[in-house]
Chain A
Amino acid sequence: MRILLIMVLSLLGCSGSIDEPVSYFNVETPRPFGYVNGDEIPQRIIIETRSGISLQPGSLPAKGQINRWLNLNRVTVKQSGQRYQIDLLYQVFYAPLEVKSLTLPGFTVQLSQGEKSIGQSIPAWTFTLSPLRELVVRQSEQGEYMRPDSPPPLLANTQALYGLAASLSIAVLIAAYLGYLYGCYPNMPRRTVFKRALRKLAGLSKADMEQALTLVHQALNSLNGQPLFSNQLGDFYRRNPQYLQINAQLAWFFNYSNRYFFSDGMTVVAQDLQQLKELCEQCRKIERGSR
């Protein structure tokens, strides 16, 4: 019985660590040697707390000058759940005469649990700083040797080059597509049916009405793939729905053509040829996709 009691008591004694506010604490620093004047030294502090305890960001050292030779350039705190990752970036400005030991000052981070506040001290960290120059400095003609000016950089032209290439390729692509729509490629004759008809039509007068009508018929036939008559217009529209919008003009054309070829005594007026040209013009617009 007594042994049991002792065991229970000793177990209770072991469980004391569960109550500690900080469950994990670590300071990660790089090598403690081989730094020179002007170097940046990162320091990472990782704190994991019990739930309900939070870090007081105000207790971290402030950005700026810490002492005569040490600056704190950056302070970042990343929180994920109860884990805090504090990244500090120090910069040393000190010109030692020989390898010299210096110390990043320690500080205390405040953790708060409701009203209560607990301090977690971050230990000071010692490192060595090396000189860059020899003790007896070499002399140049101007006096002490110093590094020369940094040559002024040339202006970067990559952005303009990219812009140039991009705008040029876009323009070429659009121009190529428009060229396709306008039938500029000889191996795509379907796009140029009315273009060619229109060109031929331009040279004709009202005396050549027969030739003009034949031209338009041929153009429509080649677009249709077979001879097109007025009673097949429905089929034609089904295959080329964009021509439905000039239905009235096409109907007029077939009607006129019928009368011209099959009834006697037709007198051709200049307006008829004009109307024919307009029809061809409309067809051309549809053909190149601008209507």
Chain B
Amino acid sequence: MIRTIRHITLWSALAASLAAFVYNAGALYGIHHDNDLIRQLISGKDVAVNKVISGEPELRLARAFYFKQKHRYDEALSTLSLIMDKGGRNFQAKARYNLGNLYLEQAIQQAKAMNINEAMPLAGLAKQAYRQSLALNSRDWDAKYNLEVAMRLLPEMDRVDMPDDEPTKQKSQLWTTVPGFPRGLP
């Protein structure tokens, strides 16, 4: 009796491991396929929408990256906003960094065109996204740099917002004195 049970168990274990093998092979094939799509998007070729909708968040990030390269900001924004809470810590940090870049690039364009009223909220959104990204991953140098770009894009606005802070006064003093400083040296 025990021998019979052992025999049946062996056969069913074999069947189960073969099923697991087939499942993993399928998963591996799927990953390979998705990675091909991601590479295609990075290289600047669009893929069918339904493949992205049913796919992993990484695919959406890649699609948003593609839209951003093509300056299709609204589509990039709507694609990115769907994956903000998906994936692990590093993935979320990356998604937020790219979101920040999306806002910052538009803010820079608006500022260049002297549309300060449009540029201001965009820079604010960019700063918020970079801060969130850095809170998730404080070792991201690109995010640090771009946060500084966003913070100094409209420095006047930034200074008005903080009259209660002590460093503020020093900063505004520096702003007027520093540019002339090197020339005055002996």
B-contacting residues of A (Cβ < 8 Å)?
36-40, 67-69, 71, 73, 91, 93-98, 100, 102, 131-133, 135, 137, 142-157, 160-161, 163-164, 166-168, 170-171, 174-175, 177-178, 181, 242, 289-291
Q: Is the CB of B32 within 8 A of A157?
A: yes
Q: Is the CB of B58 within 8 A of A155?
A: yes
A-contacting residues of B (Cβ < 8 Å)?
3-4, 6-7, 10-11, 13-14, 17-18, 20-21, 23-25, 27-28, 31-32, 34-35, 38-39, 41-42, 56, 58, 61-62, 64-65, 68-69, 91, 94, 97-98, 101, 104-105, 108-109, 111-112, 130-131, 134-135, 138, 140-149, 151-153, 161-162, 165, 167, 170-171, 174-175, 178-179
Q: Is the CB of B14 within 8 A of A171?
A: yes
Q: Is the CB of B10 within 8 A of A174?
A: yes
Q: How far is the CB of B138 from chain A (nearest CB, A)?
A: 4
- In the docked arrangement, what's the CA distance between A146 and B170, Å? 27
Q: How far is the CB of B150 from chain A (nearest CB, A)?
A: 8
Chain B interface, >50% SS class: helix
Q: Is the CB of A153 within 8 A of B148?
A: no
CB < 8 Å: which of A36, A39, A146, A151 contacts B105? Answer: A146
- In the docked arrangement, what's the CA distance between A36 and B142, Å? 12
- In the docked arrangement, what's the CA distance between A152 and B57, Å? 10
Using Cβ atoms and an 8 Å threshold, which residues of chain B touch A143? Answer: 108-109, 111-112
In the A-B complex, the 7 residue pairs with the smallest Cβ-Cβ separation, listed nearest first, are A95-B151, A167-B20, A152-B62, A38-B144, A147-B142, A171-B17, A163-B24
CB < 8 Å: which of A38, A95, A100, A171 contacts B152? Answer: A95
A-B contact pairs, 15 of them (CB 8 A): A38-B131, A38-B144, A38-B147, A95-B147, A100-B171, A152-B62, A154-B35, A154-B39, A155-B34, A157-B31, A164-B28, A166-B20, A167-B21, A167-B24, A290-B4
Contacts between the two chains (Cβ within 8 Å), count = 178
Q: Is the CB of B21 within 8 A of A168?
A: yes
- In the docked arrangement, what's the CA distance between A208 and B161, Å? 108
Chain A interface, >50% SS class: loop
Q: Is the CB of B101 within 8 A of A146?
A: yes
Q: Is the CB of A150 within 8 A of B38?
A: no
Q: How far is the CB of B40 from chain A (nearest CB, A)?
A: 11
Q: Is the CB of A97 within 8 A of B178?
A: yes
Using Cβ atoms and an 8 Å threshold, which residues of chain A touch B146? Answer: 146-147
A291-B28 contact in complex given A132-B145, A149-B98, C-beta closer than 8 Å: no
CB < 8 Å: which of A97, A148, A154 contacts B171? Answer: A97
Q: Is the CB of A38 within 8 A of B171?
A: no
Q: Is the CB of B147 within 8 A of A150?
A: no
Using Cβ atoms and an 8 Å threshold, which residues of chain B touch A94? Answer: 151, 167
Q: How far is the CB of A195 from chain B (nearest CB, A)?
A: 16
Q: Is the CB of B17 within 8 A of A174?
A: yes
CB < 8 Å: which of A148, A152, A168 contacts B42? Answer: A152
Q: How far is the CB of A188 from chain B (nearest CB, A)?
A: 17
Beta-carbon nearest neighbor of B138 in chain A:
A40
Q: Is the CB of A154 within 8 A of B38?
A: yes
Using Cβ atoms and an 8 Å threshold, which residues of chain B touch A67? Answer: 165
A150-B98 contact in complex given A97-B171, A155-B31, C-beta closer than 8 Å: yes
Q: How far is the CB of B158 from chain A (nearest CB, A)?
A: 8
Using Cβ atoms and an 8 Å threshold, which residues of chain A touch B130? Answer: 38
- Apart from A95-B147, A142-B105: 15 A-B pairs, beta carbons within 8 A: A38-B130, A38-B138, A38-B147, A97-B174, A98-B174, A98-B178, A100-B167, A131-B148, A132-B144, A133-B149, A147-B101, A149-B69, A149-B101, A157-B32, A170-B20
Beta-carbon nearest neighbor of A89 in chain B:
B138
Q: How far is the CB of B15 from chain A (nearest CB, A)?
A: 9
Beta-carbon nearest neighbor of B161 in chain A:
A68
